[in-house]
Amino acid sequence: MSRIGKNPVAVPKGVTVDLKGQAIAAKGPKGQATLTLVDEVVATLEGDAITVAPRDESRQARAAWGMQRSLVDNLLTGLSTGFSRKLEVNGVGYRAAVQGKNLQLQLGFSHDVIYPIPDDIEIKCEKPTLIEVSGADKQRVGQIAAEIRGFRPPEPYKGKGVKYDDEYIFRKEGKKK
């Protein structure tokens, strides 16, 4: 039995949910989104909670049960409070700035890296070395943060590059004479 799947998902205040078959449509303060569940699970709306259960006792249904419940939870949490991911820019002369609808990164290349900000994502730079990516879709926020980090991943010798704020870079010792 799935320990995650058996817990019902509470619908936060300010979020309205419409359940039609396998499709869940939700609207909240951060926007609106839809999610189509796989055929192996069944979702029911009971009061102010959504319960996800396997359709039968097959191996595939039990495998998809917990993940589908997590997707529903992420959908509702994203529409009520949103998700954010912070990135740090480390290195001499490395900096980031938001200019209009673009993120401008100076990462030690001969040119600045210009990253166009998608409409559903908000990027802020309080300091030139701190980037905050936020939005309603958890997967999208993580993907955008990974793309920004991919321009200059942190290197283990000096620690230069773009890293997540909670990421630990294992430092290596340089070569000796």
Position 1 scores a pLDDT of 67
Give the DSSP letter of residue 126.
Answer: S
Contact between residue 133 and residue 148 where contact means Cβ atoms under 8 Å apart: yes
Write down all domains in the chain, each with its CATH number in brackets: 9-80 (3.90.930.12), 83-164 (3.90.930.12)
Burial-class residue 58 by CB neighbours within 10 Å (0-12, 13-18, 19+): exposed
Average pLDDT over residues 15-42: 92
In order of 21, 107, 109, 172, 173, the CA distances from 156 in angstroms are: 50, 16, 19, 6, 9
Contact between residue 79 and residue 29 where contact means Cβ atoms under 8 Å apart: yes
How does pLDDT run across 105-145, given as a tens digit for each residue?
999 999 999 999 999 999 999 999 999 999 999 999 999 99
How does pLDDT run across 66-120, given as a tens digit for each residue?
999 999 999 999 999 999 999 999 999 999 999 999 999 999 999 999 999 999 9
Position 2 scores a pLDDT of 73
